[in-house]
Amino acid sequence: MTGNARTTRAAGVQMVVSPKAGIEAWLVEDYAVPLIAFDFAFKGGHAQEPASKAGAVTMLSALLDEGAGGLDSGAFHRALDDKAVEISFSADRDALHGRMKTLTRHLPAAVELLRLAVNEPRFDADAIERVRSQMIAGLKRDAKDPDALAGKAWREAAFGDHPYGQSGRGTLDSVNAVTRDDLLGLRASMMARDTLKIAAVGALSAAALGEALDAVFAPLPARGALKMIPRAEIANLGTRHIVDLDVPQSTIRFGLPGIDRHDPDFWIGVVVNHVLGGGVFSARLFKEVREKRGLAYSVHSQLSSFDHTAMFSGGTSTKNERAAESLAVIEEEIAKLCAGGPTEEELDKGKKFLIGSYALRFDTSTKIAGNLAGLQSEGYSVDFLDERNERIRSVTMEETKRVGRRLFEGRKLLVSAAGRPRGM
């Protein structure tokens, strides 16, 4: 067999190593339909771009499939269409992501097109200007969008000059400043094998995957040249930042420091957040803000962990004249949960939902591949697929009270709002 493979107890995932370059990947073989999904990620992301060139990684991700090798943009996309192959790239704070989906019978053609996109992107001048124009149009829309403005104000207040404080979409000035050489430099620094994480799902053997891994990724350099990113601590707690916008509603964002994903308290914190505002009808914020008072259509909170920070955050949108009241209710519910913890019913329902809904993240080949690649990028082993629900199931009432105090006690929210909120 080409490559080395072993089957784990975690959802049938195989650990595959390519025969030539020793490239590792997670594989789930599934022959129910003749389809293959790839998902992969390189460490780096928006945090690697200087503030003066913010948006460059977004531009890079948009251009990787806009022509490669001997194929210009039009020819490359026609080749994809001819074989019904889907290839796309995207970026976030900490990583550059790629995805491919193909019918099994078109795997050789799909692998060759992916190889070209990964190793030989053209960055033609017309493609660069087309993507630049699209990004600038989006930024002009964002300048009038309450959600984008509230998020920008919160991010800048929280992180200041840290790379997390800048937008991955950039600014009009920074996007206009990005050159082809900038794109080539970012590609060279990020797209290397040392931080590469890969998952594949579908009608594909370990041997075939090993060959594909070598074909696509072996030509990349063994090591990248990522710059060191310092820890980002959330600043300006207890302050409020208003973006004046002449609209009838205020969009509010709020947040606090969170818990790192590998901290023993992280999954306890996930349960605590679910009770507070985890996006379900039973959450306290939903009941108090929407159902009882009719202050907003939706309200949410989440616990997020990134490579260089962790945060508790949330948001809502409400009428300008009720913005201060909405925020006061949110703060009151946080204080109540901090002081008393969840009820036994809330804890039981929250754990059951978090455990039961987890399977929905794995109901398609594309979702499975994306989640497996994401787990690798976040530093989890394949055993986490078995451990995750057990971690949640074992959460006790005393643990939720302790972690609730850790998250909220003695802390005041950093708040931003876009609109004309009265009383804030």
- Same domain for 316 and 206, yes or no, is no
Span 324-379, pLDDT tens digits: 999 999 999 999 999 999 999 999 999 999 999 999 999 999 999 999 999 999 99
Return d(Cα 284, Cα 51) in angstroms, integer: 39
Number of domains, the chain = 2
Residues with Cβ within 8 Å of residue 252, at least 6 apart in sequence: 150, 315, 316, 317, 318, 323, 326, 327, 415, 416, 417, 421
Phi, psi at residue 287, to the nearest 5°?
-65, -45
Span 131-153, pLDDT tens digits: 999 999 999 999 999 999 999 99
CATH number, domain with residue 195: 3.30.830.10
How many C-beta neighbours within 10 Å does residue 121 have? 23
Helix (H) or strand (E) holding 91: strand 86-91
* pLDDT tier at 424, thresholds 50, 70, 90: confident
In a domain, residue 376? The reply is yes
Span 19-60, pLDDT tens digits: 999 999 999 999 999 999 999 999 999 999 999 999 999 999
Tokens matching residue 169: 């979409």
Tokens matching residue 398: 């005393």
* pLDDT tier at 6, thresholds 50, 70, 90: very low
- Same domain for 18 and 84, yes or no, is yes
pLDDT at 198: 98
- Same domain for 167 and 107, yes or no, is yes
Domain termination site, one of 186, 217, 248: 217
- Same domain for 249 and 173, yes or no, is no
Mean pLDDT (whole number) for 199-208: 97
Residues with Cβ within 8 Å of residue 300, at least 6 apart in sequence: 277, 278, 279, 283, 285, 314, 315, 316
- Burial of 136 from C-beta contacts in 10 A (0-12 / 13-18 / 19+): middle
What are the CB-based long-range contacts (under 8 Å, 24+) for 325-328? Answer: 325/293, 325/295, 325/423, 326/252, 326/289, 326/295, 326/296, 326/299, 327/252, 327/254, 327/413, 327/415, 327/424
How many C-beta neighbours within 10 Å does residue 189 have? 16
Which pTM was predicted?
Answer: 0.93
Phi, psi at residue 294, to the nearest 5°?
60, 35
- Same domain for 212 and 253, yes or no, is no
Return d(Cα 57, Cα 45) in angstroms, integer: 6
Return d(Cα 41, Cα 57) in angstroms, integer: 13
Contact in structure between 353 and 280 (CB atoms under 8 Å) = yes
Span 295-336, pLDDT tens digits: 999 999 999 999 999 999 999 999 999 999 999 999 999 999
Helix (H) or strand (E) holding 404: helix 397-408
Return d(Cα 166, Cα 67) in angstroms, integer: 29
| Whether residue 74 has pLDDT greater than 50 | yes
In a domain, residue 281? The reply is yes
* pLDDT tier at 281, thresholds 50, 70, 90: confident
Tokens matching residue 37: 């999904």
Domain termination site, one of 161, 182, 217: 217
Domain termination site, one of 183, 217, 251: 217
User: Residue 172 is part of which domain span?
Assistant: 14-217
